[in-house]
Amino acid sequence: MDSIGEVFISYSHDDVNHVQRVLELSNKLRADGIDCVLDQYETSPPEGWPRWMAKKIEDAKYVLMICTETYYKRVMGREEPGKGHGVKWEGNLIYQHIYNAGSENLKFVPVIFEPFHYSYIPTPLQSASYYCVKNTQDGYDNLYYRLLNKPKAEKPALGKLRPLPERPIKTNPIMYLTGPIDVDLWDKAKWRATFFMCDLERPPVLGLAFEDESAGRKIFETWHQRYGENDEYEELRISIIEGDIPGEDPGYSVHLGSDPDAASKRFKDAGYAFDDNLMMMVSRMNRMTPPAGSKNLDKFKQCYKTFKTYFLAPGVISKDRQQLKPIVELGIYKSKVLLRHVSDIGQNDVDRVVLLE
């Protein structure tokens, strides 16, 4: 196979492990015939690093942008003064190339090592195809085929339309039982708190803190299998209800279950009919009573209003409630969260259960 030309790898030196991970990706691509250019292969270019980078970006057929939080800050000009001059220089060059191309990006390819790093793709490239190469051959193969500018499958010749038989409708005569709650697993996990992570520079995190880490991880691993990394149907329904509830301390309630309309659509798209069948849902609630008011919730609402998306992620909380460990790598990227007040809840409302009547 002939060379496709040089592929320049742009990244930030976050830490030793990240630098090694970038080197391993470059080495693997080179072993597969992709002529990767990486600063780690150089000692000290005679023209100096800025001119070397400028020339390599100019000459490269593709530029792989390894997107992390540090890379995002430096490319977007949000890093602390005095840090990351190299990436800032590359970022300015990349912006100029995209501008000169009239916003038609054929050269710059976002690459991430973790699914939740999607939010760290620089703004001008967030609409571009990106590639997650986290320990998956499929993710690497997708990137490889992109660099070859070839589809993964050959398009067959177009055949003739055939007559379609009547599509049988699959029905369940009694009920559908669906939902994200495995009762035994949730009992073992012990959902004890809700936490938020916000910094106004990327979509926030809405976290479910469990006492049992193994069971909490299992819950989110199962959700990834069922709903994917983005919950396409928004079937996971999360509502946050503020306001006083008789018999409860001041605070807010978090109610998690399945969205009936989304679940119905998913089943109908799969060919099932509902008619007058009964759909039963199982849900879980968590009551938060922060002593200093809902400051973290207020920050989450501000971030959510800005980004209109968030990550739903698990965490582990100690029994004394003093230590919390987020597990953001299992986050699910979502768009919908219901921010409500108890006064909004009607008689037949899905969230009626939080009123404990």
Q: What is the pLDDT of residues 25-37, one digit of tens each?
A: 999 999 999 999 9
Q: How high is the pLDDT of residue 291?
A: 81
Q: Distance of alpha carbon 340 from its chain centroid, rounded? A: 24
Closest listed residue to residue 136, CA positions, set 25, 7, 18, 16 = 25
Q: What is the pLDDT of residues 45-58, one digit of tens each?
A: 999 988 998 899 99
Can you spell out the DSSP letters for 284-304?
EEEEE--TT-SHHHHHHHHHH
Q: How high is the pLDDT of residue 253?
A: 94
Q: How high is the pLDDT of residue 262?
A: 82
Q: What is the mean pLDDT of residues 72-97?
A: 70
Q: Distance of alpha carbon 53 from its chain centroid, rounded? A: 31
Architecture of the domain whose range is 6-148 = 3-Layer(aba) Sandwich (3.40)
Q: How high is the pLDDT of residue 175?
A: 42
Residue 101 and residue 120 in contact, taking contact as beta carbons nearer than 8 Å: no
Question: Residue 63: is its pLDDT beyond 70?
Answer: yes
Length of the chain: 357
How far, in Å, CA of 69 to CA of 39, rounded?
Answer: 20
Q: Which of 48-52, 142-146, 162-166, 298-302 has the lowest mean pLDDT?
A: 162-166
Residue 63 and residue 93 in contact, taking contact as beta carbons nearer than 8 Å: no
Q: Where are the domains of the chain?
A: 6-148, 170-355
**What beta strand segments (E) does 131-219 contain?**
131-132, 170-171, 175-178, 191-197, 205-210
Q: Which of 89-93, 140-144, 158-162, 340-344 has the lowest mean pLDDT?
A: 89-93
Q: What is the mean pLDDT of residues 315-321?
A: 91
Q: What is the mean pLDDT of residues 195-221?
A: 93
Q: How high is the pLDDT of residue 140?
A: 93
Closest listed residue to residue 337, CA positions, set 206, 179, 200, 198 = 206
Hey, which of 62-66, 101-105, 344-348 has the most confident mean pLDDT? 62-66
Q: How many CB atoms lie within 10 A of CB 104?
A: 7
Q: How high is the pLDDT of residue 22?
A: 95
Q: What is the pLDDT of residues 242-277, one digit of tens each?
A: 999 888 889 999 999 988 888 777 777 766 665 545
Q: What is the mean pLDDT of residues 313-330?
A: 92
DSSP 8-state code for residue 211: S
Q: How high is the pLDDT of residue 254?
A: 96
HEC readout, 322-335: CCEEECHHHCEEEC
pTM for the predicted model, two decimal places? 0.55
Q: How high is the pLDDT of residue 173?
A: 41
